[in-house]
């Protein structure tokens, strides 16, 4: 049986204006400039620069633009236009019930691809038609690092099913040796061992390179695990000879394709959103002027509204035009206000971060960084944590010690043996120094590093030390070993 009943329910939803404002806040300076350019192109009622003749144009935020009595809205039949003229077009842009996706597309630089460069080199070889097609297919299987990661048997199957080329493993391996003659040396290898061997064999052969070839060819596992004592014993060589051979290997490129593939990657240019200077012992914060553009509402659009008011006979076309004009004026007015809110939010947030980390910005010593999480700043400026996150994740600040990503100033805390809260950044800085100063012939294990930190007043578990070491991009002790 069907029944009808009323139910009252309270729910929180972001308005379209709030969503648009959040999007503006998270944009870094360059993306923000593009967003302004896009808005100006889409909204003719929004203009860049100062107002040319303010005496002829009232304040764009005045009630006259929105006052129905002034624009003659009483003459407009709302039902005829399926829209209330009090609902500007920008209110209908965002949907609260859909995911707030961002456009993350980036432009690609033009140029010759890595695959095309290899194919151009292949064209200088004399090959039978089928061998040439196999070689091209092998080149197409090379990744950005310069390796062929797939087994040759799988490639042979693909050649049969996709290219109608039937071949065997021996023929494919012979063609692969041709591909491995291409530049850069090492390209077309199936693993690191083969990649290093290809490069070594193409070098001028000396006693050092000959020994390096033997080490890679016969004792790659001991080499990769840095078991130097075993290598000295196996090849019956001196420590000096091993050093020379290792020096030859260290000059090789483990990713031969990276030099070519990187040429086509877009280069990121960081534009600081803030600048912090030290003036007479005090910190001075400024917002990049490109974040504070001069925008105003078009005078010509205001004149159009005045013309509509003065018109005695208001046609349907004029009524359509005034609705369009009012929507664009409302959108322009809101966009200018949103930019002002963005400026204020950015400045207030960064100012709170600067004062919270005042000791660091005055000294540049990372050990002076206080433990700070997003909630600390959010409570300080009485804003939501998500707002602080949007500012911190995508903005850079120019300091006397270099340009820094703001989120790098945030870190968790731990308590030292004095009962004081210290930043994990401080601990990582000390750990980095300890590892840099260790005896590379006998690198410190994670357990020994934990004991050293404990002696310095930081009681940290071994697994925590391992986590911090990995975050600092240091390998385990065995792989830090040097001759």
Q: Is 260 exposed, middle or buried (0-12, 13-18, 19+ CB in 10 A)?
A: buried
- What pLDDT sits at residue 30? 82
Which is more confidently placed, 252 or 3?
252
Do 156 and 242 reside in the same domain of the chain?
yes
End-to-end CA distance of the chain: 85
- Residue-level pLDDT at 107: 47
Would residue 8 count as lying in a domain?
A: no
Residue-level pLDDT at 417: 65
pLDDT at 54 (0 to 100): 47
Across 90-104, 155-169, 445-459, the highest mean pLDDT is recorded for 155-169
Pick from 73-87, 274-288, 452-466 the range whose average pLDDT is largest.
274-288
Predicted local confidence at residue 419, as pLDDT = 60
User: How many CB atoms within 10 Å of residue 340?
Assistant: 12
Note the pLDDT tens digit of each residue in 90-137. Answer: 444 544 444 444 444 444 445 578 888 999 999 999 999 999 999 999
In a domain, residue 247? The reply is yes
315 touches 394 (CB < 8 A): no
Pair 81, 154 in one domain: no
Q: How far is CA 369 from CA 305, 388, 389, in A?
A: 56, 18, 19
Within this chain, do residues 196 and 284 fall inside the same structural domain, yes or no? no
Residue 155: pLDDT over 90:
yes
Q: Which of 376, 395, 410 is the last residue of a domain?
A: 410
Higher-confidence position of 68 and 402: 402
The answer on 331 and 216 residing in a single domain is no
pLDDT classification of 377: cutoffs 50, 70, 90: very high
The domain boundary, picked from 367, 384, 410, lies at 410
- 300-321 confidence digits (pLDDT tens): 776 776 666 666 666 777 777 7
Q: Do residues 135 and 251 both lie within one domain?
A: yes
217 and 163 within one domain: yes
Q: Residue 310: its pLDDT value, please? A: 65
Is 70 exceeded by the pLDDT of residue 25? yes
The Cα-based distances of 372 to 245, 347, 355, 422, 430 in angstroms read 48, 18, 12, 10, 18
CB atoms within 10 A of CB 273: 23
Instruction: Indicate whether 120 and 203 sit together in one domain.
Output: yes
Is residue 61's pLDDT more than 80?
no
Instruction: Indicate whether 245 and 345 sit together in one domain.
Output: no
Residue 63's pLDDT is 38
Split at pLDDT 50, 70, 90, the class of 468 is: confident
Range of the domain at 233: 114-262
Specify which of 189-198, 268-277, 427-436 reaches the highest per-range mean pLDDT. Answer: 189-198
How many separate domains does the chain show? 3
Are residues 296 and 156 both part of a single domain? no
170 with 183, same domain? Answer: yes
Res. 86: pLDDT tops 70: no
- 258 and 118 part of one domain: yes
Residues 309 and 402 in one domain: yes
Neighbouring C-beta atoms of residue 49, cutoff 10 Å = 9
- The confidence score (pLDDT) of residue 188 equals 93
80 or 304: which leads in pLDDT: 304
Does some domain include residue 160? Answer: yes
Residue 99 inside a domain? The answer is: no
Residue 105 φ then ψ, to 5°: -70, 145
Structural domain contains residue 397: yes
> Residue 438's domain is classified under what CATH number?
1.10.10.60
Would you say residue 69 has pLDDT above 50? no
Final residue of a domain: which of 262, 279, 303?
Answer: 262
Residue 176: pLDDT above 90? yes
- Residue 151 pLDDT > 90, yes or no? yes
Whether the per-residue pLDDT at 157 is higher than 90: the answer is: yes
Residue 333, pLDDT score: 85
Residue 71: pLDDT band with limits 50, 70, 90: very low
Split at pLDDT 50, 70, 90, the class of 432 is confident
Peptide bond into 72 cis (omega under 30): no
Closest CA to 276 of 174, 160, 400: 400
- pLDDT at residue 354 above 90? yes
Within 27-151, residue ranges assigned H as helices are 29-42, 68-71, 78-81, 114-122, 129-140
Query: pTM of this prediction?
Result: 0.54
* Rounded CA separation 285/288 (Å): 10
One-character DSSP codes across 353-408: HHHHTHHHHHH--GGGPPPB-HHHHHHHHT--HHHHHHHHHH-EEEETTEEEEGGG
Task: Tell me what pLDDT residue 199 has.
Answer: 94
For residue 373, being part of any structural domain is answered with yes
Tens-digit pLDDT profile for residues 179-207: 999 988 999 999 999 999 999 999 888 99
pLDDT of 205 reads 87
Among the listed ranges 58-62, 243-247, 421-425, which one has the minimum average pLDDT value? 58-62
pLDDT over threshold 70, residue 13:
no
Q: Over range 379-390, report the average pLDDT.
A: 89
pLDDT of residue 314: 64
Mean of per-residue pLDDT scores for the chain:
79
The three-state secondary structure class of 277 is strand
Q: Is residue 4 part of a domain?
A: no
> Of the ranges 204-218, 261-275, 285-299, 422-436, which one carries the lowest mean pLDDT score?
261-275
Residues 6+ apart with CB under 8 A from 200: 209, 212, 213, 216, 248, 249, 252
- Residue 101 within a domain: no
């Amino acid at each position: 049986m069907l029944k009808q009943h009323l139910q009252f329910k309270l729910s929180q939803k972001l308005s379209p204006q709030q969503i648009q404002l959040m999007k503006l806040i998270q944009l870094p300076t360059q993306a923000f400039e593009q967003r302004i350019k896009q808005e100006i192109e889409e909204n003719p009622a929004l203009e860049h620069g100062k107002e040319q003749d303010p005496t002829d144009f009232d304040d764009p935020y005045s009630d006259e633009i929105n006052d129905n009595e002034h624009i003659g809205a009483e003459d407009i039949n709302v039902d005829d236009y399926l829209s209330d003229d009090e609902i500007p077009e920008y209110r209908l842009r965002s949907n609260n019930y859909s995911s707030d996706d961002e456009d993350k597309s980036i432009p690609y630089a033009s140029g010759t691809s890595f695959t095309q460069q290899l194919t151009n080199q292949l064209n200088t070889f004399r090959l039978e038609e089928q061998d040439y097609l196999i070689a091209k297919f092998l080149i197409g299987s090379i990744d950005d690092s310069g390796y062929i990661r797939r087994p040759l048997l799988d490639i042979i199957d693909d050649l049969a099913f996709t290219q109608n080329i039937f071949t065997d493993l021996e023929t494919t391996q012979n063609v692969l040796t041709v591909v491995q003659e291409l530049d850069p040396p090492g390209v077309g290898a199936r693993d690191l061992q083969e990649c290093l061997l290809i490069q070594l064999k193409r070098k001028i052969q000396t006693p050092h390179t000959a020994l390096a070839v033997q080490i890679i060819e016969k004792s790659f596992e001991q080499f990769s695990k840095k078991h130097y004592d075993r290598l000295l014993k196996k090849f019956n060589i001196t420590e000096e000879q091993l050093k020379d051979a290792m020096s030859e290997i260290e000059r090789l490129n483990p990713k031969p394709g990276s030099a070519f593939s990187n040429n086509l990657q877009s280069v990121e240019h960081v534009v600081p959103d803030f600048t912090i200077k030290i003036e007479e012992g005090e910190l001075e914060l400024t917002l990049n002027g490109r974040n504070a553009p001069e925008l105003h509402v078009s005078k010509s659009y205001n004149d159009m509204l005045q013309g509509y008011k003065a018109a005695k006979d208001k046609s349907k076309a004029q009524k359509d035009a005034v609705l369009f004009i009012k929507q664009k004026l409302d959108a322009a007015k809101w966009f200018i206000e949103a930019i002002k809110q963005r400026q204020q939010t950015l400045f207030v947030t960064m100012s709170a971060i600067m004062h919270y980390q005042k000791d660091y910005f005055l000294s540049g010593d990372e050990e002076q960084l206080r433990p700070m999480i997003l909630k600390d700043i959010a409570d300080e400026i009485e804003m939501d944590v998500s707002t602080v996150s949007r500012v911190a994740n995508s903005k850079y600040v120019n300091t006397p010690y270099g340009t820094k990503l703001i989120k790098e100033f945030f870190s968790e805390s731990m308590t030292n043996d004095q009962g004081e809260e210290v930043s994990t950044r401080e601990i990582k800085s000390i750990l980095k120094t300890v590892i840099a100063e260790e005896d590379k012939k006998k690198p410190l294990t994670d357990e020994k590093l934990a004991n050293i930190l404990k002696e310095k007043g930081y009681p940290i578990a071994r697994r925590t030390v391992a986590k911090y070491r990995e975050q600092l991009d240091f390998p385990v002790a065995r792989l830090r070993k040097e001759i």
